[in-house]
Chains A and B, each alone.
Chain A
Amino acid sequence: MDSASASFDSALIPEGVKRCKLKWFLLWIGILHGPVMVGVVATLMCWGLALNVTYLNNNFPFGLWIAADLGVIALGAGAFFTGFLRYILNIDELKNIVNFAVVIGIMCYAAAQAILGVDIGQPLRGWFIFWHANVHSMLTEVAFCITCYFMVLCIEYLPLILENRQINKIGFFHGMAHHLHEAMPTIAAIGVFLSFFHQGSLGGVPGVLYGRPFAFREGFLVWPWTFFLFILSAIAAGPCFTILITWITEKFARKRLVKRNVIDILARISGRLLVVYLVLKTIDTVYWVSIAGKVGAPFSSFYANHPYGYWVLVLELGILGVIPAIILLSTKARQNENLLVIACLLNCAGIFMNRWIMTVQTLVVPVMSFDKFVSYHPNWVEYASTLLYLWLGAIFISITYRYLPIFPQEKELNPL
């Protein structure tokens, strides 16, 4: 680490904090451009050569992309949920992490929309989902809500940009940032409204497929039970993802950016929600098994297809569910940083696995008795075009961290 004043761009760096030299920063960004280029090539192949370059097929119209979409949106729930806790429930300490939660949210939601842009067969017609909207489709609800919520996130991010050292010198932008901060509870409330709906609708996407007994669930009014389970699982895992990314950023910055008590509040809430989710998910699973059995689909038929055996249930609910819940509930375990990070990692992996199961395993289970089991695994094009947004997210966070004051406690924790 070198003094900020030594860098060419030091005038843009927030006051009172240290950042690495510009050359190291550019080198880091340059390194990230390597995998970004691979992802860009994969994306261009999908657009230019059509989707036959992937391993998707007529039996697996949904694959890694949709699972990743559902996954990143769930992980991005940290943004709206932290906003909800900070602005609606007024947990004041969370003001120290809510900015970063918004940054992570933007990264996740931009990724989700971009992946959808690659996934659809006719990307130039993507706007049809708005123009010819079928309001009875869960996917329509998802599209409208994530687009509107992305706008909300951008508005929440706007004051952070306006607080950049140079931009903030301009009176209008300074005032705008101030007034946006004042309006933030209203904006957060809109975000919460939208997020509850689209997190739920993502659960509705597999839940309404009554032709697929593995995914179909009954429910309340037009919403299947998966609607509510997805909301709950998203708000249980989202804060953990925020903690995880904050921890990674701290490791790269080689300093503490957020006080432990703030992290602890998020971890504690996440743990409690995870327990509630696990209880409800278990009830849902037991109920679903009994219903499916009545219409002639024995429980074993859903897990008879290698590699999707019973281990899937054990891993999703046990190893990636119960273990992180125990760690997050225990005050002592939470205080151990390594254990906390492992719990967050397991929790996030669990949510991702749940989304994979609800999309891909749904399609794996043959429905017609004479249908053959077919397996699916993504190819490099799918992996590269999905991971592209991880690298772009890293670049986005790096730039944001360098030039914008996103960690209010950084100065206090790291006096110059």
Chain B
Amino acid sequence: MFPFIFDWVSDPVHYVFMGSVYTVLISLVIILHYCAIRAFLDVICKKGKGDHNHD
């Protein structure tokens, strides 16, 4: 599952497959952190109470 660990197979299919998985996981982590940091900064800057128009 992880690169360079004993079960890792170095072939193109493996790179495409696991590459996609890690891209998705990293994207999700980045989005969550981005939102959390923005929310935290909003609170710090006292902007958190704005009336946002949600879907």
Contacts and interface: CB of A to CB of B under 8 A. Distances in A.
Q: Do any beta carbons of A and B sit within 8 angstroms of each other in the complex?
A: yes
Contacts of A144: 17, 21
Interface stretch (A128-136, A241-249, A342-350, A355-363): A128-136
Contact of B31 (A133, A172, A186, A408): A186
Contact of B35 (A130, A151, A176): A176
Given A135-B17, A171-B42, A148 B31 contact: no
Interface residues of A, number: 36
A175 interface: yes
A181 B48 contact: no
Contacts of B48: 171-172, 174-175
A326 to B, nearest CB: 33
Contacts of A176: 35-36, 39
A95 B31 CA distance: 21
Interface string B2-42: 00000101000110011001001101100110111011101
A145 B2 CA distance: 17
A132 B48 CA distance: 45
Contact of A179 (B21, B24, B35): B35
Interface residues of B, number: 28
A175 B55 contact: no
Contact of B43 (A175, A177, A187): A175
Nearest to B27: A190
A179 B17 contact: no
Contacts of B14: 135
Given A148-B21, A155-B32, A178 B54 contact: yes
A343 to B, nearest CB: 28
A172 B34 contact: no
A76 to B, nearest CB: 18
A184 B39 contact: no
Given A144-B21, A184-B55, A172 B40 contact: yes
Contacts of B31: 155, 183, 186-187
Contacts of B28: 148, 151-152, 155, 187, 190
Given A174-B48, A178-B52, A132 B24 contact: no
A181 B21 CA distance: 24
A48 to B, nearest CB: 30
A187 B21 CA distance: 15
Interface string B42-55: 11000111001011
A159 B35 CA distance: 11
Contacts of B42: 171-172, 175
B10 to A, nearest CB: 12
Contact of B55 (A98, A155, A172, A190): A98
Given A133-B1, A136-B13, A174 B7 contact: no
Contacts of A179: 34-35, 38-39
Nearest to B48: A171
B25 A148 contact: yes
A223 to B, nearest CB: 13
A173 B32 CA distance: 12
A193 interface: yes
Given A155-B28, A181-B55, A135 B18 contact: yes
27 contacts: A95-B55, A131-B1, A132-B1, A135-B14, A135-B18, A141-B17, A148-B25, A151-B25, A151-B28, A172-B40, A172-B48, A174-B39, A174-B49, A175-B39, A175-B42, A175-B48, A177-B54, A178-B39, A178-B54, A179-B38, A179-B39, A181-B55, A183-B31, A183-B34, A183-B35, A190-B28, A408-B55
Interface of B: 1, 7, 9, 13-14, 17-18, 21, 24-25, 27-28, 31-32, 34-36, 38-40, 42-43, 47-49, 52, 54-55
Interface of A: 95, 98, 130-133, 135-136, 141, 144, 148, 151-152, 155, 159, 163, 171-184, 186-187, 190, 193-194, 408
Q: Top 5 closest A-B pairs, CB basis?
A: A175-B39, A171-B48, A179-B35, A176-B39, A175-B42
